[in-house]
Chain A
Amino acid sequence: ETGVTQTPRHLVMGMTNKKSLKCEQHLGHNAMYWYKQSAKKPLELMFVYSLEERVENNSVPSRFSPECPNSSHLFLHLHTLQPEDSALYLCASSQSWSVTYEQYFGPGTRLTVT
C-alpha cells in the first residue's frame, strides 16, 4: 500500500448504528486530518492530529469521535448520526502540522445515513 488509504470506501448506516472509519498513511507523516465534503460546499476541516495529539477540533458534534493510536493510523468513530451527516469523509496527512506542508488525501469514505 502506498500513500493514504481509507476503509471502508462506502458505508450505509442507520441513525442508531455505531461504525468506524479507518485511515492509514504510509508516507511517514506526522500530522493527520479528517475532512467532511458535502455536495456544493467547501471541504470542512473536522479534526487535526499531530504526533497522535489532537490539536484542532472545529466545533464538530460529539457524535463524531476521532482516535489516533499512532502517527500512521486515524479513526473516526460514528454514533447516532443524522441524515445531514451523509457526505464524503476524507482523511489527509502532511509532513508536519507546525509548518505548512502540502496535504495528501486518501480516497475517502462515502457515508450515507438513513
Chain B
Amino acid sequence: QKEVEQNSGPLSVPEGAIASLNCTYSDRGSQSFFWYRQYSGKSPELIMFIYSNGDKEDGRFTAQLNKASQYVSLLIRDSQPSDSATYLCAVTRSARQLTFGSGTQLTVLP
C-alpha cells in the first residue's frame, strides 16, 4: 500500500463546475496535510494546508480532512481553465517529513 494515494486521473470537469480531488493516507499518526498545485514544467505551489478535522475554506478552494477515515480532499468551486494542473497531496509522516502522492491531473474544459 502506498503511503499517500491519489487517483492519477486525468480528471476532466467543465468550466464553472466543482472539481473534487481525493487523497488517502496510510499512517494514522499523520498530523498535517497539504495541497500543492503543479503546472506542467513548473515547481509545486502551495495552495492550502489543514491540520484539524473538518473543512477549511480559502477563496474557491476548500480542504476537507477526516482523520478517522484517513482521507483528505480538495474542492475547487467555479473551476477555471487556469486551474488545469496536477494537484499533489502531501502528508507528514512525522513532525518533520512530507510524503507526497503521485498527483491528480485536472483538466478544466472551457
Contact = CB atoms under 8 A, between A and B. Distances in A.
Interface of A: 40-43, 45, 48, 55-56, 88, 90, 97-100, 102-108
A90 B96 contact: no
Contact of B43 (A55, A98, A105): A105
Interface string B93-104: 001111111110
Contact of A105 (B45, B96, B97): B45
B31 A100 contact: yes
11 contacts: A43-B44, A43-B90, A88-B43, A97-B96, A98-B96, A100-B31, A100-B96, A102-B49, A105-B36, A105-B44, A108-B42
A37 to B, nearest CB: 9
A43 to B, nearest CB: 4
B43 A106 contact: yes
Contact of A90 (B31, B43, B92, B102): B43
B106 interface: no
A100 B43 contact: no
Interface of B: 4, 8, 31-32, 34, 36, 42-46, 49, 88, 90, 92, 95-103
A104 B43 CA distance: 9
Contacts of B98: 45, 103
B45 A100 contact: no
A57 to B, nearest CB: 12
Nearest to A104: B46
B43 A43 contact: no
B102 A41 contact: yes
A90 B34 CA distance: 17
A24 B99 CA distance: 23
Given A100-B31, A107-B43, A45 B97 contact: yes
Nearest to B6: A42
B46 A103 contact: yes
A90 B95 contact: no
A55 B96 CA distance: 10
A19 B101 CA distance: 30
